[in-house]
Amino acid sequence: MATTADIRNGLCMKHNDKLCQVIEFQHVKPGKGPAFVRTKLRMIETGKVIDNTFSAGHKIEVVRIENREYQYLYQEGSEYVFMNNETYEQVNIPAKMIDKPGFLLEGMVCNILYHADEETPLVLELPMHIISEVTYTEPGVKGDTATNSMKPATIATGAEVRVPLFIDMGEIIKIDTRTGVYVERVKN
């Protein structure tokens, strides 16, 4: 059993019988009173971030998590099928475990966080950016170059993103998967 002295960024632990990951922490030793550890925890199942304070020496239950790379193959009903490139083992991931499934491209390599002791997948993390073709967008009007003006566009995966007015159909763009925001136009 670990204590608060073992807390570090990225550590996974059980808190109130739920799996949490430490986003940030701070050891505090006030001039008056006992020391404590102030933390920000992300609930793994829901993604919700909570603040929590532990008294110094408090016992915590550390959970061993492994980060494994899997390649996206195809969608099967409401689940997504991924393959481990080393063992060729396939795993079905439900849509609720994927933050933005609309950005999945066939052949994309993603990270899956696994509970190492139970061998169960917990969270699927998409790559930071994807590069995709714009399949539909309204044409821009010549002279309509107002700064920071955006229009909706549909990309090859079927997801809709907001792009600048100068982007046309058939162009290749880079998108941030965490926020769903257009980053830049990619040159061929």
Please name which of 19, 120, 4, 1 lies closest in space to residue 66, comparing C-alpha atoms: 120
* Cα 165 to Cα 138: distance, rounded to the nearest angstrom: 9
**What's the pLDDT score for residue 143?**
62
Q: Tell me, what's the pLDDT at 147? A: 67
DSSP-assigned letters across all residues of 152-179: EEEETTS-EEEEETT--TT-EEEEETTT
* Mean pLDDT per 10-residue segment, the chain (188 residues): 86 89 90 91 84 91 90 91 91 85 90 85 87 87 68 90 88 89 86
> Per CATH, the architecture of 65-125 is what?
Beta Barrel (2.40)
CB-based contact 139:166 (threshold 8 Å): no
- What is the CATH code for 2-62? 2.30.30.30
Same fold for the domain at 65-125 and the one at 129-185?
A: yes
Q: Quick check: 44 and 99 in contact, CB under 8 A?
A: no
| Residue ranges per structural domain of the chain | 2-62, 65-125, 129-185
Burial class (CB in 10 A: 0-12, 13-18, 19+), 187: exposed
State the chain's maximal CA–CA distance in angstroms: 68
| The token pair that represents 181 in the structure block | 């925001």
CATH classification number, 129-185, choose in 3.30.470.20, 2.30.30.40, 2.40.50.140, 1.10.3720.10 = 2.40.50.140
- Letter string b/e over residues 27-57, b meaning 16 or more CB atoms within 10 A of that residue's CB: eeeeeeeeebbebbbbebeeeeeeeeebeee
Output the pTM of the full model. 0.71
Give me the chain's average pLDDT, please. 87
From edge to edge, which strands make up the β-sheet containing 65-76? 90-94, 79-83, 65-76, 109-115, 120-125
**In angstroms, what CA-CA distances link 38 with 1, 10, 24, 27?**
19, 15, 9, 6
